[in-house]
Structure 1
Amino acid sequence: MPRFLRRLTGRFSTSTISPALVNSMQLLTLQLVDDPQLRSHEPQLLSRVLQALAAATANINPATMIEILQAEVLVSFYFFNRDRKLEGGYHATAAVSLAVACDLHKVRGVQGGGSTSPSSGAHYRLPVPADDVEEGERIQGFWVVYCVDRCWTVALKSQSVLSRGDFASQIETPWPIETSNYEQGQYPQALRHRNLPTVKHFLENAASNGWDRSCLALRAQVSTLFERATDLANQWNPGAPGFQTRFLALDNRIEHFKRSLPGLSLTEASSSQDDRPAQTDTEKLRCMLCCHTLVQCATIQLHTPLQQGQDPTNSRTLAAAIAAANLLREVDVRSLSFVDPIMGVLWSTISQVLIQGIVNLRRMRPRQSSSGRSATPGAHLPGEMVVTSALDCVQMTLEALSGTSPLLERELANLRQARFEMHPNV
């Protein structure tokens, strides 16, 4: 950030920042300010951003490729947050294509040629990074793009360059460490020229090596589990050779990851001892809430086909949804100011599972009554109040944050409508 600000203000540097990046930053910032006069400039600024991106991608300059990549990510976040998902998906795909074309998935790996990349477009060789900070920016850039792609291809039910063939085995870029580590020259020597397939190794080995615990690294790992769980559920075929083995292996990997995540209270405690600004504490908490929610949603995605026709009181999907909702009791969501747009999608999934859980539990009342157990009209079954309370947590969170995001506003309206249709008092 200090280096970026010096360039932005023109101090100590003759290089200029790509207009596409500056304009995209301004565009996204308008989402976070409560000033109608400033917000009125949004359409014009969006037009400038899109024109700048079109000009930059039509005349590629390898020296500014990372900035164009950053701009594409910010614009995709803008569109997702505005609930314009198709446009968000378009710019997320553009970011993926740029990252792969620049071999960002092979930073510190074997520098392959364009033939190693599954993209059919151009291939660009970036200049050698000037120092650890610049290389760290490339490493973080790849993993940010990876996270966006893995989560939103699930949300949009779309295909990605990163899903073609066995692309995971080609990713050799190491997990990112914290930005401050790159700035202070604390890049682990063991990561230099380390050519392990990063994602493949993560899926097959539950043990942490100590270099993969930054917020962004955890976010990339749980995004991997979320996408893999969805993909395996879409291929649901218990009778197929090897399917049960793959299912159990992924289920165990997800559960191990849950246990390894630091709690949200621990995240806040460790952050409060940091000398960096308080904003960094909020960023860390925001990231960790996303990680915890994503891993519970990975369980929901994986187990949804398995739960069909099973006893709803013994549902892995319902338990995961309750656990995800209960996370919100540990966080003052208003202090977050905003959240990653994917959280709206995840909370929608969680609320759907909770609503179905209430419906299933209520269907059991006649059976409980016929078995001699008390079933006075309107009484809650064991567990129903727990599920309803969890649903309340999700709704209150959406209410607290909906003003920051049209996407969250729509998910809140959908939840209210679903609860009304189920029962006016639910």
Structure 2
Amino acid sequence: MIAETSKDSPAARAMAKPLKRGRACMNCRFLKIKCDGVKPICGPCRKHPKDDDCEYSDGPGRSRTKVLEETVSRLEARLHELEHPDETTPSVTLHDPYSPYHEAQQKLPPSLLIPEAHPYSPLSPFSPTSTTSSLPSGRPWRSFAALETKTESGGSSGSSSSPHHRPYTSSPFLGTDEPGFLTIQSLLDQFLPHCTEFGFFLNPNRFREATLLPLSFGHPSRPTPALLSAVYLWGVHLSHSEPLLLHEHSFMIRALQHVATDPLGAHPDVVLHTLQAEVLLAYYFLHIGRFLEAKCHTAIAVSLALGAGFHKIRSANIYAPSTIGLSSDTPISLQPPRDNSEESERISGFWTVLMLHKYVSIALEPPTSVCGTLEAPGTQIDTPWPLDIPSYSEGLRPDVRGNSTVRNFLLNVVDDAPQGHSMTALNAKAAILFHRSAQLAGQWTPHMQTREFHAYTAAFQSINRLIQTFRTSLPPLSQLDIKHPSTRTLLLIHALTDAATIKLHINFSYADSASKQHCLTAARNMITFGGLNIQEFGYMNPIIATLWVAACHVFIDEISRVRSLGSDWPSHSEGGEDELMERLRDGMAALSALSDESSFIKYQLTKIQEAFAAI
């Protein structure tokens, strides 16, 4: 048994014996009082408890006080370093992660970096010193210039000789706000001759004149930055110029940034021009095979057109004007068009969006998912049929009013309005028929209930009669010069009409000889191109690939059927394997002729080649 140790025993006195100097706890050392050094809690701390625990500097780990002291020392050292940068070596060395991009910018073609001299003023309106944009003036927006701004004479942008020179932040990705003046002219020359194939609905002549005005980027008298950037992007893509194509991605990034920020500004045409920019971007992404972006920009264009009330232009019905914003709690609506040409652009803009929506829906969605957002219940389209661009300045007659335009067309209501026979209107009608046929094809199932079957049969017969009536109203392709832009549009209209027949009858072509014959006749019409040489057409709307693919599938299916039946039909006659193979090769050759210009068409060609290899 161990005897209890008393406070006055030698052992206790030994345990309480003060430690050597310098072994005091941190509290006693801070208060400068005598410490007995007893662990774990010294005498003074035991008699007068403190908020801080009794700690010793020689403990197994760093004490909290020691950590705080080290933090203070480190912060003091850093503060001295920042206050005297020349006397110390930085503890953290920074580097520029974008230095390769800065070096690449130095290699840009001169036409992209230094604007050419312009006759209107000593400083080109497209100089990178022009930092005006359509963004609101109270925000710290930065321009996208990549180089230090310089005048044509080589002076620094920081010179005090001009009060308009302002510093800006460089961007290694986007280059200057605009290319040089001569480059802009070249890009317009590349794009405008083919612009209608990619959804351009503005008056090209007015657009070109406004673009080349000697005014800054974003000036209200010029098109919006988003629209200009989208047109420049298309011009670069169509240019086949290697120096420009190297920077196509930068042009695309600039267009995407401006189309997102332009609506924040106060440009007078921001709604119409943003809509046009979205359409151009949707066609661009469809053209290069980036389908998700194509669908996104199409959806934005549809929302913008409906939100701005473009589906109610010249409506015969009373409706509340669309609200596009608020100012001091006051609703803001789109201002009335300034002239006939602007109203025509708005009308054509809506129908262009409608056609784009139908093309993308059919080309990129499964047959059972083809939707009709623009004809959804509650969305009534009253806007009259559009005019062709040369007739914009004349405008619609003052008495023209629209009422259920699409619905009346599908019901085959007679419309004698002259604008209903314009090439643009015929294009819209053909797109509607194509889309409606695809919808019906996706709704068909062989196990329909009796009521569903009768409803489907009635809709089938109605749209079939409408297609036949519409086809007879179309001008023949042989009437137009192959070099005329309207010829490409008319070829597309004929192809859409034939594709509508194929979509409508394809589900029944295996069992019904009449439906099979309808499909074969439509496919032959589409692939013969009205006797025109497809090689001379140049650029065409990307949807043409989807139409030709439908025709090629008809020939592939029929070749497979003929082979499986071992038919005695002469191979060289119409309907024989040789004739079908010749038509199929014509269709594949047409796709191949355009595939170098479009990743989307190349993708469609690949699908046909795979299907052909499987038979």
TM-score range, shorter chain: 0.7 to 0.9
Q: TM-score, structure 2 length as denominator?
A: 0.59
Larger radius of gyration: 2
Partner residue in 1 for 2:420: 212
Q: Which residue of 1 aligns with 2:536?
A: 335
Q: Distance in 2 between matches of 1:204 and 1:313?
A: 23
Partner of 2:221: 15
The match for 1:127 is: 335
Contact 1:312 1:360 in 2 (8 A): no
My pick for the range that moved more, 256-265 or 316-325, is 316-325
Q: Which residue of 2 aligns with 1:273?
A: none
Task: Please state how far the C-alpha of 1:206 moved relative to its aligned partner.
Answer: 5.8
- Deviation of 1:258 after TM superposition, in Å, equals 1.1
Q: What is the CA–CA distance in structure 1 between the aligned matches of 2:449 and 2:517, rounded to whole Å?
A: 18
Larger proportion of helix: 1
Pairwise mapping of residues 357-368 of structure 1 onto structure 2 (< 5 A)?
357-365=558-566, 368=567
Q: Does 1:198 align with 2:400?
A: no
Q: Which moved more, 1:2-11 or 1:128-137?
A: 2-11
| Equivalent residue, structure 2, for 1:404 | 597
| 1:250 match | 463
Q: Per-residue CA shift, 1:338-390, capped at 9, x if unaligned?
A: 1111111222222122111110112221xx4xxxx588xx8888433332222
Q: How far apart are residue 124 of structure 1 and its match?
A: 6.3
Q: In structure 2, do the counterparts of structure 1 residues 381 and 17 end up closer, same or farther at CA, with 3 Å as the change threshold?
A: closer
Partner of 2:502: 300
User: Does structure 1 retain, via aligned residues, the 8 Å contact 2:323–2:332?
Assistant: no
Alignment of 1:215-234 (within 5 A): 215-234=423-442
* Structure 2: segments with no counterpart, 5+ residues: 1-203, 325-330
**Contact 2:508–2:516 under 8 Å retained in 1:** no
Matched with 1:6 is 209
Residues 53-202 of structure 1: matches in 2 within 5 Å?
53-57=259-263, 63-109=269-315, 110=317, 112-113=319-320, 125-157=333-365, 159=371, 161-165=373-377, 167=379, 170-183=380-393, 185=394, 187-191=396-400, 194-202=401-409
Structure 1 residues 360 and 312, CA gap change in structure 2 (3 angstroms)? farther
Q: In structure 2, what is the Cα distance between the partners aligned to 1:200 and 1:356?
A: 34
Take 2:313 and 2:371, find their aligned partners in 1: how far apart are those partners? 24
Residue 145 to residue 382, structure 1, CA distance change in 2 (3 Å): closer
CA distance in 1, matches of 2:391, 2:265: 34
- Contact conserved, 2:307 with 2:322, CA < 8 A, in 1? no
- Number of residues of Structure 1 aligned to a counterpart in Structure 2: 392
Structure 1 counterpart SS, 2:421: coil
Contact 1:312 1:357 in 2 (8 A): no
Q: Secondary structure at the match of 1:188?
A: coil
The question of whether the paired residues in 2 share the 8 Å contact of 1:20 and 1:53 is answered with yes
Q: What is the aligned-residue identity percentage?
A: 29
Paired position in structure 1 for 2:492: 290
Q: Is the 8 A contact 1:102 1:124 kept in 2?
A: no
Residue 274 of structure 1 corresponds to which residue in structure 2? none
Partners of 1:392 and 1:166 in 2: how far apart? 46
1:151–1:223 Cα contact (<8 Å) kept: yes
The answer to whether residue 582 in structure 2 is matched with residue 389 in structure 1 is yes
Q: Deviations over 1:24-79 (max 9, x none)?
A: 00111222222111111111111111111111245686641000000000000100
How many Å separate the matches in 2 of 1:321 and 1:79?
Answer: 28
Q: Distance in 2 between matches of 1:312 and 1:160?
A: 29
Moved segments of 4+, more than 6 Å: 114-117, 378-381
Shift of 1:197: 1.2
8 Å Cα contact 1:238/1:244 also seen in 2: no
What secondary structure, in the 3-state scheme, does the structure 1 residue paired with 2:357 have? helix
Q: How much does 1:330 deviate?
A: 1.9
Residue 217 of structure 1: how far off its partner (Å): 0.5
- Show CA shifts across 1:227-259 (max 9, x none): 111112222248324322221111000111111
3-state SS, counterpart of residue 475 of structure 2: coil
Provide the rounded CA distance (Å) in 1 between the counterparts of 2:574 and 2:269.
63
Q: Deviations over 1:104-151 (max 9, x none)?
A: 01111146237899xxxxx96211111100100101100100100112
Give per-residue Cα distances to partners, 1:316-346, cap 9 Å, x unaligned.
Answer: 223222221122x622222221111111122
- Contact (CA 8 Å) 1:312, 1:361: kept in 2 or not? no
* Amino acid in structure 1 at the alignment position of 2:374: L
In the other structure, the counterpart of 1:272 is none
Secondary structure of 2:392's counterpart equals helix
Give how far 1:81 is off: 0.4
Aligned partner letter, 1:288: L
Q: Which amino acid aligns with 1:291?
A: I
The SS at the match of 1:173 is: coil
**What is the distance in 1 between the residues matched to 2:333 and 2:360?**
27
- What amino acid sits opposite 1:345 in the alignment? T
Aligned pair 1:322/2:524, yes or no? yes
Q: Hey, what does 1:235 align to over in structure 2? A: 443
Determine the structure 2 residue equivalent to 1:275.
none
Identify if the C-alpha distance between structure 1 residues 94 and 60 changes in structure 2 by more than 3 Å, giving closer, same or farther: farther
Q: In the alignment, what sits opposite 2:26?
A: none
Which has the bigger relative contact order, CA under 8 A and spacing at least 6? 1
User: Runs of 5+ in structure 1 lacking a partner?
Assistant: 118-122, 270-277
